[in-house]
Amino acid sequence: MTQLTEKAPTTAMVLAAGFGRRMRPLTDQTPKPLLSVAGKPLIEHVLERLQGVGIQRVVINLGHLGHMIRDYLGNGNRWGLDIQYSVEQEDRPFETAGGILNAMPLLGEGPFFVVNGDVWCDFDLSQWVARSLPKECPGRLLMVPNPPHNPEGDFGIENGLLSGTAKPRYTFAGISWLRPEVLTRYPKMRECFGLGEVFTFNEDKLQADLYTGDWCDVGTPERLENLHYRLSAEN
């Protein structure tokens, strides 16, 4: 029996509302997504990759120093994108899942990509586009080998699906393809909550792919510096 699938999304959400406390003092005056890596802000690398796989509209949630992100990116014309903004309280961000739920009126009714604004990854999203997303599947997550700062990992993968019990465990890469229902039908949804608990609730339903290529959670000044020098050397 042929699985029902649908076209790849043309909308994406970039999560950019965090405080970036571990990046201080760099983030005292600059939001983390605007920190420069190899000559351009982190979030600009993200936007270029999204535009390259056919994304047309991007929703960005704003919190800490969010006005600076809006001032820099504008309406997105420079990247051939339509950028819209979901503004959160700077002193009380909604966390990852809450931020997406708050932005749902802008995201629309169809599936969308979600990418952390402080993650560098050279994964080619066109691989996901080529495979489509089965209609009965609530979403797909990208997993990576565990970095030193998350040695225990987040979830395992079993038969291509996310698992809370399978070994080995891997780290969520901060890149996903989600249906709105994965959040709107979550029974414990509230103003502020994280994606981790939503993923746990949907174990054995969400698809999960392991990626062993270049990935970096730019969470500290040291990681930012290492990534900058590595990418600059490659260019």
14 pLDDT exceeds 70?
A: yes
Kindly report whether the global pTM for this prediction surpasses the value 0.85: yes
Q: Which two tokens stand for residue 187?
A: 């029974």
- Which stretch of 20-29, 92-101, 126-135, 138-147 has the lowest confidence by average pLDDT? 20-29
Return the top range by mean pLDDT from 29-33, 96-100, 158-162: 158-162
Domain ranges for the chain, please list them.
11-234
Report whether 171 contacts 146 (CB < 8 A). yes
What fold is seen in the domain 11-234? Spore Coat Polysaccharide Biosynthesis Protein SpsA; Chain A (3.90.550)
Question: If we measure between CA atoms, which residue out of 11, 3, 4, 194 comes closest to residue 111?
Answer: 11
Sequence length of the chain is 235
Q: What's the pLDDT tens digit per position in 46-72?
A: 999 999 999 999 999 998 899 999 999
Q: How many CA atoms lie within 13 A of 8 on its CB side?
A: 20
Q: Which helix (H) or strand (E) holds 99?
A: helix 95-102
pLDDT of res. 199: 96
